[in-house]
Amino acid sequence: MDADTRRWAALGLLCAANFMVVLDSQIVLLALPSVERDLGFTGGGAQWVMSAYLLGFGGLLLLGGRTADLAGRRRTFLAGTGLFLVASLLCGSAWNGGALIGARVAQGVSAALMAPSALSILTATFAEGPARNRAIAVWASVGGFGATAALLVGGPLTGGLGWRSIFFLNVPAAVLLLALGPSLLDESRGGARRGYDPVGALTVTLAASATVYGVVRIPETGWTSAWTAGSLAVAVVAGVAFVLAESRSRAPLVPLRTFRSRRLTGGNVVTLAAAMAVFGTSLALSRYAQDVLGYSPLAFGFATAVLPLAAVAGSAAAQAALRRATVRAVAPAGLAVMAAGCLVLARVPAGGYASVLLPGLALLGLGLGASGVAGSVAALAGGAEGDAGLASGINTAAFQFGGAFGVAVASTAVLSWADGTGPDAGFRAAFAASGGIALAGAAVAAALLRTPARRRVSEPVKVTTR
């Protein structure tokens, strides 16, 4: 095949990996009751089937991104895919709760290798400009579809084939990636820096893991518990040690100059806010539909089908808008549309599906697709070419951290507002909180993306690697 056809085929392969990685972060949501019954989880332990993946994924993303730059992006991607295949088989074959949680951690670790290396391969395959923007739009739309399709796919699979099928679903996809990856994907590396930064790797992994661990336990222990305070204190101390180590290292794992880019920082704020809003809303909506409205997992999956479809439409609209407008205009607008969708959902139980849930989900999906594309474009364009893996890791980490925080905020809102005020108050509070997060993200992003003042993202930019 010619070079142009080959690179778009490579994009399709990378997007399949992205879909698989993002889908697995939420697909267990509707399967948790079945998992709990079959494997004998007690005391809310089944929640760790979801949290273990986020812990492995979020804790190692920056290390995975930098490993891709130094060891080779295709090599890292294929190694991660092989581990993902094995971990998925172990998840589907788990004989008890401990085995499933351990396998989910391994799945998260493999995703931390796959996701940033895949996105950095994309940036190496497509030069900055309209072609890369189109590629990122496709990537982001697939990611948005995966984040929301988990609700659509997980219900029918769990109800029809059992919860183990949601893990075996990954096996043929991983085999396909391993078979086609060597021929479709080119090997590439980062800049001239060689060697690893063990102190930086240790401290950033500890800081990220402690943050995710503390946050995912908030629904179980509370925001002011000793577990939460202790975990976040460890994260702060490790984060300070990481900054000190990187400022003195000759070959830092994460060069601190990376964060001087307002576009990279602003793009990641967009990604963080969008993930918080959609993960928090998805959790609250799942519980509301099943606990209050009495939806079955299958019915709920079909009822939310508009969400992933709208996310794809929003991604396409954002990609078209970026040809004529700046990312500073598109990104906050996407978050504002997400906020509008959350606030429509906060009207429950006023009205029914057609007047509240359907328009709320449609707006949420449109905004997610638009903000996902704009956030990714800004974040990746803000990094140096030699740091593509690192920039990809940071952007993916922002999405995963946002998801963990969004679930914690929504869970807290549901529990805090539901007592003595009726079954709907907690869910209304959760939807409103998610909307407020999206609005705050839009305001911060608009300020951070103020410069460069009028250059459009689709225009080429000269990248330096000081």
In 366-437, beta strands by DSSP E: none
- Pick the more confident residue, 44 or 123: 123
Q: Residue 459: which pLDDT band, with cuts at 50, 70 and 90? A: very low
Q: What's the pLDDT at 385? A: 57
Distance in angstroms (rounded) separating the CA atoms of residues 297 and 381:
40
CATH number, residue 40 = 1.20.1250.20
Q: Judge if 202 and 258 occupy the same domain.
A: no
Q: Judge if 282 and 413 occupy the same domain.
A: yes
Q: Judge if 217 and 175 occupy the same domain.
A: no
Q: How many domains, the chain?
A: 2
- As to burial, measured by CB atoms within 10 angstroms (0-12 exposed, 13-18 middle, 19+ buried), residue 341 is buried
Buried/exposed code over 415-428 (b: 16+ C-beta within 10 A; e: otherwise): eebbeeeeebbbbb
Provide the domain limits for residue 213.
Answer: 197-252
- Pick the more confident residue, 175 or 27: 175
| 462 assigned to some structural domain | no
Q: Note if the pTM is more than 0.75.
A: yes
Q: Judge if 404 and 267 occupy the same domain.
A: yes
- Residues in Cβ contact with 43 at an 8 Å cutoff, skipping those fewer than 6 apart: none
Q: What's the pLDDT at 236? A: 94
Sign of CA dihedral 230, 232, 236, 239: positive
Distance in angstroms (rounded) separating the CA atoms of residues 84 and 118:
14
Q: What's the pLDDT at 282? A: 84
Q: What's the pLDDT at 399? A: 83
Contact (Cβ atoms closer than 8 angstroms) between residue 187 and residue 68: no
Q: Can you say whether residue 43 is alpha, beta or left, with left for phi > 0 and alpha for psi between -120 and 50 degrees?
A: left
Instruction: Find, among 107, 61, 54, 59, the residue nearest to 393 by Cα.
Output: 61
| 397 assigned to some structural domain | yes
Q: Judge if 230 and 301 occupy the same domain.
A: no
Contact (Cβ atoms closer than 8 angstroms) between residue 441 and residue 367: no
Helices vs. strands in the chain: H and E counts, helices first = 18, 0
